[in-house]
Amino acid sequence: MDVTGKELPACPVETTLTLISDKWKVLIVRDLLTGTKRFGELKKSVGNVSQKVLTSQLRQMEESGLLTRKVYAEVPPRVEYTLTELGYSLKPVLDAMCSWGKNYKMQVASDKV
C-alpha cells in the first residue's frame, strides 16, 4: 500500500506510472529538483496548466508523499512546495527520461538529413 492507504499495482513500472503518469506531475518534480518553489513560480515554470489542475496535482503528490506543502500565516498567504526525500529519489528517472529525449531528438534530426 502507498502512504494514502491505497493498494499499489503489483508491477513496479505501473506503480511509478501511478504516481507520476500525468505530464504535469513529471514537470512539477523536474522543477522542484532545483529546490523549494512557491505556487506562482511552479505555475509559471510548469507551463500552460490551469490553477485548478496544478492544485489538484500538487495535492495528489502531497498525499503520495512526494512533496511537502508549507503554508505561511501571511497576508497574502504564501505557500511553498518542496520535494521529500522520496520525491527527490525520482531524479534518476527524470535524468533517464531527459537523456532518452535528447537522443531521440538527435536521431529524428539526423534521419531528416
pLDDT confidence band for 15 (50 / 70 / 90): confident
pTM of the entire structure? 0.85
Residues 6+ apart with CB under 8 A from 99: none
Walk me through the domains of the chain, giving residue ranges and CATH numbers. 12-112 (1.10.10.10)
Across the chain, mean pLDDT equals: 90
Instruction: Give the number of other CB atoms < 10 A from CB of residue 58.
Output: 21
Residue 81 to residue 24: CA distance in whole angstroms: 15
Element (H, E) at 78: strand 78-83
Q: Give the three-class secondary structure for 20.
A: helix
pLDDT confidence band for 8 (50 / 70 / 90): confident
Residue 8 to residue 28: CA distance in whole angstroms: 22
Contact 65, 86 (CB under 8 A): yes
Contact 101, 52 (CB under 8 A): no
Each residue's pLDDT tens digit, 100-111: 999 999 998 888
